[in-house]
Chains A and B, each alone.
Chain A
Amino acid sequence: MTSHEIASVVPDEVARFLASGEDEKAGESLRDYAERLARAEPGRGIEWARKASSALIDRPLFGAYLKWAAGVVHHLTGEPARAEKDLAQAARAMIRCGRLDLADRASLLLIDCHGEQLRLDRARKLAQRLERRFVQRGDSERGAVALANLACAEDAADRVDRAQKLWRRAMRRMAPGSLRHLLARANLANSAALAGRFSHASREHNEIADVARALGLDNLALHAELNLAETEFAVGRVEAAFDLWHRVIDSSRIEGDIGMELVAEIDLATAEAEVGELDLAEARLTRSLPRLHGAGLFHDEARALRLHAVVDGAHGRFDRWRAAFDSLRGPDMQMQRDLLTVDMAQLDPTIDPPDIVRAARRLATAGLRHRALLGLAWAGERFLDRGNRRGARRCAREVLASTRASAWARLVSHHVLGRMDGPGATRHLFRAVHWADHLHGRLSALSDRSAFLRVRGDVYLDLMATLLDRNTSRDRRRALDILSRFRSSWFLDEIERRADLGDDPEVLRWQDLRARLASLLRRMEGPDEPRIRRFGVHIHRELKGLEGELLETEATLARRIPVLLPDAIGRSVSTELLDRLPRDEVFVEYFLDARDLVVFIVWRGKLRVERIRNAAPEIRSLAASVRFHMDTATWREGSSSRGSAHALRHRLRRLGELLLPPLPADTWDALWLAPHAELYHLPWAALEFDSGAALIERSVFSLVPGAGVAAALLRDRPPSPHRVAFGAASTVELPMIEKEISELARMVDGSVALETATRDDFLAMLSSFDIVHLAGHAVVLDGMPSASGLRLSDGYVTVHDLAATRIAAKLVSFGVCSGVRMGDDHSDHRYDSFLRSLMAGGVRSVVGAISPVKDDVAYAFDLEFFRGIRDFGNPGLAFRAAVEALRRLNPNPAIWGNFHFYGDHRPWSVT
């Protein structure tokens, strides 16, 4: 290479040293230059390294330095194989020049490169050799660097304990406060975070950032902040973590450190995906991917491509991930391709199982055993989907035989074996349910969590179906317990969580998010209610973002405060219910699976199960029709109303034929009814027996979310209420509200009435009165029930506001539209409706309409209901009397069947 050509590769300063014959100084300067270039402009750095690496130069020592510098660039830009080659060549060239000391220094980085490619044996041998030689030369600090680099390699292969020991050994030999000491300390803190010692890690990263800044090591300070963001996120301080990431991104941009900036962007996108802000994450990834490619940050580009594919998968889009897979080209990217295969195996059912197995085997060879076993577990699931039972069994057994399989991999494998009807299938399903309980809310990686949410229901329901097929007395009980665990465990769980409303940062964030949700609703709500008239896609998107954050907060809380299942009440739900249900009362729970209607009936100390084969599709179709008539009833006039009533009665008769026969033929005094999913929105009071009598004529009844809640309510007698409050937000369009409140106040002695109640007034009523009634206007979102709001005079009270309030009320009644409606997702979470939020706060009974209700109808019902309360002291009887009175006024079941009584219908203990 001519001097002119050298000048084109090296900067001026290096060229000057070369010109004066100081090759070693030139080489050292060149290495520093390469490091700066790789960090600031990775793309240009790679271009430069390619040129430098292939340069032929007649100055051997400087030529070796050129290779070293190229190796540094390739190492920093995520190309360990290229870096390994350059550094090995550099070391050999140094030895040929007789400079074993320099060869050893260049080899230090080789340890890292071996580690990144999971060649642990090579890394260990090299590190030991280098450490010994440096110590012999009296350079114990560089010996310590060899140990620290080996620690990184051990860490990359998940050998965390070994890595920690090595970092500690290394730190003892390094000068405290030196750059190397700080780097080792930072690595150790990261490792502590991985081991769950977050507070220690957080403290360390904070200190490292301060020290680095004081020493002028801005790059290291930013690194420490980047690590700190991860730690803060891991402990649930999400806002703080997001602030840190944004700060790192801004600072890196100012400093021109594009590598750091993009790493922070990808970390932030990963966190956004984890908290459910998939749209934000996707936008960030879409912005960052071309920059990552342009900058030549291949390792981070691969990470971003994988995440992008998983976000797509979580959205149910599987058409783009194969393109991402194809773009991860070359042998260096094999591991990334395999990791992506395992991620997507969980989400995309079309992926070929042998491909998953191959990816899993390679990951196992590379030392990533956890991910490999998860891949195998999912290969088993996909084999079974395709009818390959042998392949499925082999994969599942291999996973379960390994001591390293995670709870998630075990769940999937037990589920596979449980679905195969082989020996011990039921035992496997029980184990799968055990792990599903254990994992609820604990999985954070987006692909794992999305897949868990999809598979969880099947795990419980498969076990329930198996137990019902066996149909022994014990199995029937266990089936009801499983259904309760799946459908109504939220109730006890929420009551327990409410005891934790202290200064816990996650609980505070939970409350803050709910306040933001309420203010968002206030902002969006106008006189013409655009989000209701149309679907409000844009607003829904914004609301969904908040909702996603709230659910993530829930998950974080669940990680720390384990979910309390109904079993936690001491005995199983079925045992508790069988013991406590009075002999003259009936409990019935209806569950629709894909084909059948399953009915659990508890009556006179016995549990019976009826399975009505192939009834589910017809019931679903009838339920959809019924809901259509209920939801359009306030709209209809004249012939339209008559036609609707005629069709509705026909549907209700047919539903009565399908749903009511399992009830005991004998007389009973009261009925507890737990309908799930589509069945919830039926006008149960209006369902007809064969005789033509409506259910409301037969006895007092109430709806409950499931056996777990019924068992919990039956533990105590309902106390007698003393303080009664009536609140309203009257408007000109709804003239009956004002009248209703004043008449109710006259009817109930000593009650408190507010015709223009504010948000605070209503929440205060809930927290200090026994019975609270609200008359007014409600906005209910079927697609996002938790964002629904009750309009007060100064704004909305949302479902989340109710969830955040300490509630004393035992009975709440709503004189508003759809006050006890639930969402359409049938996900059975606690924010599904106003009523669930209230019950989870300790309210025993909630009364209201499931569909829109006219002003005069609500007025008539509310007055009759409170007249019954005053006269009977029995909420169940009061409800029945009010419904009957309304029926006499208007025989259309869409009007009088619209009202539900939810929860405890029993008479109060002292009237």
Chain B
Amino acid sequence: MDHLTEAHIIDLIEGEGPSEAEAHLAECSQCRSAQRLWQERIESLREMSRESLDDAELHRLRVLYRQLGPGKDQAPRWIARLVRSSAAAPAAARGVASGEIMEYSAGPYTLMLRVGAQGSRSTVSVIGQIATNDRDRGIGGTFALTPPNGRVRLSDVDQFGEFNLPEVAPGSYRGTWWFGDQIMVVHDVEIGTDDEP
């Protein structure tokens, strides 16, 4: 059997992997090491997920930024900042379609997310694109959405910086993008939730 894909490893961590994958994991040290790495990442994401920012949280994020931001080893890590969302729809468009668009900025990257309805189903689809002006930087890797409790959703990021996560349950999420040693973290992504009482 080939080495396990990241998706298989995540499934195994979430207790949903196929039995052949488990058997492979027992025999393959490389995949076990990848599994440990993902386990640590997921655990850290779960800890970090929060919905609102009070003073203590802000302080925590600042500390986190110092830890995750550009460090001595020059490994670039960013916390994304919301630039705009469809709360302020483009004034010159002749109407609106349901769904929400959010644009984030993180270092040399921009992230555009579109959260769309999936018919009358209760889940939504999340499609996004990571872009950069810096031609020296590549695009690829993995994008993850992490709920406070529950299963992490993962998607590969393709050559155009695109990723697609269908059937996401509405809620508050943390988004994380890994590409090589670069990490972008997007806090408090409200997906498909209602702002009414």
Chain A interface residues toward B at CB < 8 A: 529-539, 544, 621, 624-625, 627-628, 631-632, 634-636, 639-640, 643-644, 646-647, 650, 733-734, 737, 775-784, 791, 815-818, 821, 823-827, 851-856, 858
A-B contact pairs, 21 of them (CB 8 A): A529-B89, A532-B96, A534-B195, A535-B98, A535-B193, A539-B196, A624-B166, A628-B164, A631-B114, A635-B86, A640-B103, A647-B161, A779-B95, A783-B119, A784-B120, A818-B95, A825-B119, A852-B90, A854-B94, A855-B93, A858-B94
CB-CB nearest in chain B for A533: B87
Residues of B near A643 (CB, < 8 A) are: 129, 131, 160-161
Q: A818 touching B97 by the CB < 8 A rule?
A: yes
Compute how far the CA of A636 lies from the CA of B192 in the bound complex, rounded to whole angstroms. 22
Q: A826 touching B119 by the CB < 8 A rule?
A: yes
Beyond A534-B193, A624-B125, A628-B114, is A780–B94 a contact (Cβ under 8 Å)?
A: no
Residues of A near B168 (CB, < 8 A) are: none
Q: B129 touching A778 by the CB < 8 A rule?
A: no
Residue from the list B92, B97, B110, B164 in contact with A821, Cβ < 8 A = B97
Residues of A near B121 (CB, < 8 A) are: 783
Residues of A near B166 (CB, < 8 A) are: 624
Compute how far the CA of A658 lies from the CA of B170 in the bound complex, rounded to whole angstroms. 34
Residues of A near B162 (CB, < 8 A) are: 625, 628, 647
Q: A854 touching B93 by the CB < 8 A rule?
A: yes
Residues of A near B97 (CB, < 8 A) are: 532, 631, 780-782, 817-818, 821, 851-852
Q: Besides the contacts A643-B160, A778-B95, A791-B95, what 9 more A-B pairs have beta carbons closer than 8 Å?
A: A624-B125, A624-B166, A640-B112, A734-B92, A734-B94, A737-B94, A778-B96, A780-B95, A824-B116
Chain B interface residues toward A at CB < 8 A: 86-87, 89-101, 103, 110, 112, 114, 116-121, 124-125, 127, 129, 131-133, 160-162, 164, 166, 170, 192-196
Q: B196 touching A537 by the CB < 8 A rule?
A: yes
Compute how far the CA of A641 lies from the CA of B89 in the bound complex, rounded to whole angstroms. 17
Compute how far the CA of A782 lies from the CA of B120 in the bound complex, rounded to whole angstroms. 8
CB-CB nearest in chain A for B95: A817
- Smallest CB separation, B2 vs chain A (Å): 20
Q: A855 touching B94 by the CB < 8 A rule?
A: yes
Compute how far the CA of A631 lies from the CA of B101 in the bound complex, rounded to whole angstroms. 9
CB-CB nearest in chain B for A621: B164
Compute how far the CA of A555 lies from the CA of B163 in the bound complex, rounded to whole angstroms. 41
Q: B193 touching A782 by the CB < 8 A rule?
A: no
Q: B93 touching A817 by the CB < 8 A rule?
A: yes
- Smallest CB separation, A741 vs chain B (Å): 13
- Smallest CB separation, A46 vs chain B (Å): 41
- Smallest CB separation, A895 vs chain B (Å): 12
Residues of B near A537 (CB, < 8 A) are: 170, 193-194, 196
Residues of B near A853 (CB, < 8 A) are: 93-94
Residue from the list B93, B100, B117 in contact with A533, Cβ < 8 A = B100
Residues of A near B120 (CB, < 8 A) are: 544, 783-784, 825
Residues of B near A536 (CB, < 8 A) are: 98, 194, 196
Q: A635 touching B103 by the CB < 8 A rule?
A: yes
Compute how far the CA of A399 lies from the CA of B74 in the bound complex, rounded to whole angstroms. 73
CB-CB nearest in chain B for A641: B131
Residue from the list A529, A777, A782, A827 in contact with B99, Cβ < 8 A = A782
Q: B133 touching A777 by the CB < 8 A rule?
A: no
Inter-chain contact total with CB atoms closer than 8 Å: 163
Compute how far the CA of A635 lies from the CA of B94 in the bound complex, rounded to whole angstroms. 13
- Smallest CB separation, B184 vs chain A (Å): 16
Q: B112 touching A782 by the CB < 8 A rule?
A: no
Beyond A635-B103, A782-B98, A816-B94, is A644–B129 a contact (Cβ under 8 Å)?
A: yes
Residues of A near B118 (CB, < 8 A) are: 783, 824
- Smallest CB separation, B34 vs chain A (Å): 25
Residues of A near B116 (CB, < 8 A) are: 627, 631, 782, 824
Residues of A near B103 (CB, < 8 A) are: 635, 640
Q: A634 touching B93 by the CB < 8 A rule?
A: yes
- Smallest CB separation, B165 vs chain A (Å): 10
Compute how far the CA of A647 lies from the CA of B161 in the bound complex, rounded to whole angstroms. 9
Residues of A near B192 (CB, < 8 A) are: 535
- Smallest CB separation, B170 vs chain A (Å): 7
Q: A530 touching B93 by the CB < 8 A rule?
A: no
Compute how far the CA of A635 lies from the CA of B120 in the bound complex, rounded to whole angstroms. 26
Q: A782 touching B119 by the CB < 8 A rule?
A: yes
Q: B164 touching A824 by the CB < 8 A rule?
A: no
- Smallest CB separation, A337 vs chain B (Å): 30
Compute how far the CA of A544 lies from the CA of B193 in the bound complex, rounded to whole angstroms. 17
Residues of B near A625 (CB, < 8 A) are: 127, 162, 164
Q: A852 touching B95 by the CB < 8 A rule?
A: yes
Q: A854 touching B90 by the CB < 8 A rule?
A: yes
- Smallest CB separation, B80 vs chain A (Å): 15
Q: Which of B127, B166, B170 has the most CB of A within 10 A?
A: B127
Residues of A near B133 (CB, < 8 A) are: 639
CB-CB nearest in chain B for A536: B194
Q: A824 touching B117 by the CB < 8 A rule?
A: yes
Residues of B near A734 (CB, < 8 A) are: 92, 94
Compute how far the CA of A779 lies from the CA of B93 in the bound complex, rounded to whole angstroms. 11
Q: B117 touching A628 by the CB < 8 A rule?
A: no
Residues of B near A646 (CB, < 8 A) are: 160
Q: A640 touching B131 by the CB < 8 A rule?
A: yes
CB-CB nearest in chain A for B196: A538
CB-CB nearest in chain B for A826: B119
- Smallest CB separation, A263 vs chain B (Å): 33
Residues of A near B127 (CB, < 8 A) are: 624-625, 628
Compute how far the CA of A531 lies from the CA of B116 in the bound complex, rounded to whole angstroms. 13
Compute how far the CA of A571 lies from the CA of B103 in the bound complex, rounded to whole angstroms. 54
Compute how far the CA of A292 lies from the CA of B121 in the bound complex, rounded to whole angstroms. 33
CB-CB nearest in chain A for B134: A639
Residues of A near B125 (CB, < 8 A) are: 624
Q: Which of A852, A856, A858 has the most CB of B within 10 A?
A: A852
- Smallest CB separation, B131 vs chain A (Å): 4
Q: Which of B91, B92, B101, B161 has the most CB of A within 10 A?
A: B92
Residues of A near B112 (CB, < 8 A) are: 632, 635-636, 640
Q: A632 touching B195 by the CB < 8 A rule?
A: no
Residues of B near A535 (CB, < 8 A) are: 98, 100, 117, 124, 170, 192-194
Compute how far the CA of A779 lies from the CA of B92 in the bound complex, rounded to whole angstroms. 14
Compute how far the CA of A776 lies from the CA of B96 in the bound complex, rounded to whole angstroms. 11
Q: Which of B91, B166, B194 has the most CB of A within 10 A?
A: B194
Residues of A near B96 (CB, < 8 A) are: 529, 532, 778-780, 817, 852
Compute how far the CA of A531 lies from the CA of B103 in the bound complex, rounded to whole angstroms. 20
Q: B131 touching A776 by the CB < 8 A rule?
A: no
Beyond A536-B196, A537-B194, A631-B116, is A647–B94 a contact (Cβ under 8 Å)?
A: no
Residues of B near A817 (CB, < 8 A) are: 93-97
Residues of B near A644 (CB, < 8 A) are: 129
Residue from the list A621, A632, A815, A826 in contact with B101, Cβ < 8 A = A632
Residues of A near B90 (CB, < 8 A) are: 634-635, 852, 854
Compute how far the CA of A825 lies from the CA of B123 in the bound complex, rounded to whole angstroms. 12
Q: B95 touching A777 by the CB < 8 A rule?
A: yes
Residues of A near B117 (CB, < 8 A) are: 535, 781-783, 824
Compute how far the CA of A635 lies from the CA of B96 in the bound complex, rounded to whole angstroms. 12
- Smallest CB separation, A733 vs chain B (Å): 5
Residue from the list A544, A640, A777 in contact with B94, Cβ < 8 A = A777
Beyond A635-B101, A817-B95, is A628–B129 a contact (Cβ under 8 Å)?
A: yes
CB-CB nearest in chain B for A789: B95
Residues of A near B196 (CB, < 8 A) are: 530, 534, 536-539
Residues of A near B100 (CB, < 8 A) are: 533-535
Residues of B near A533 (CB, < 8 A) are: 86-87, 89, 100, 195
- Smallest CB separation, B100 vs chain A (Å): 7
Compute how far the CA of A784 lies from the CA of B86 in the bound complex, rounded to whole angstroms. 19
Residues of B near A824 (CB, < 8 A) are: 116-119
- Smallest CB separation, B194 vs chain A (Å): 4
CB-CB nearest in chain B for A643: B131
Residues of A near B95 (CB, < 8 A) are: 776-780, 791, 816-818, 852
**A-B interface, 10 closest residue pairs, ranked by CB to CB distance from nearest:** A817-B95, A783-B117, A825-B119, A647-B160, A778-B95, A537-B194, A824-B119, A628-B127, A782-B117, A643-B131
